[in-house]
Amino acid sequence: MPVVGASHCRRTCNLPCWTSTLVLSRKMPEVDYVVLSEWFDWIVKNTDVSMDLIVYLRTTPETCYQRLKMRCREEEKVIPLEYLDAIHHLYEEWLIKGGPFPIVAPVLVIEADHDMQKMLELLEQNRDRILTPGNQKHGP
């Protein structure tokens, strides 16, 4: 899943992927979708949610599922692999293929199907691109 500059950006930028998946899987009532969409539109129009980089920690749905199981959080126990697969597909369509939602900042893709030590190494290798404004570029 992508990591975006700030937590409010993470929520607002990811909202279309999450809500689309929930609506398509019929886990979100239409009225909830309308309310969230209106809230999302208001936030984007009335607050500064600009960012200079989207960091996409790209993992397979299977890796995400295994990590959920290892974390053992009560609220995550009900998340099926099929849901993670649908979310993954939407993020791939959005951040890799450029649709169906606008990409509002350059995307840095970091392959994240690695153990913690390797992930720390990859994040350190990309530290300047992530933390220094102006060092970003589109693509991996």
**Domain edges within the chain:** 2-131
pTM of the model: 0.69
pLDDT of residue 96: 94
Cis-peptide, bond into residue 100, ω within 30° of zero:
yes
pLDDT of residue 15: 61
| CATH code assigned to 2-131 | 3.40.50.300
pLDDT of residue 14: 60
Residue 14 Cα distances to 69, 74, 119, 124, angstroms: 22, 22, 22, 25
pLDDT of residue 84: 93
pLDDT of residue 36: 80
- Under a CB-based contact definition with an 8 Å cutoff, are residues 136 and 108 in contact? yes
pLDDT of residue 13: 59
pLDDT of residue 28: 74
Residues in the chain where the model's pLDDT stays below 70: 1-18, 134-140
pLDDT of residue 12: 47
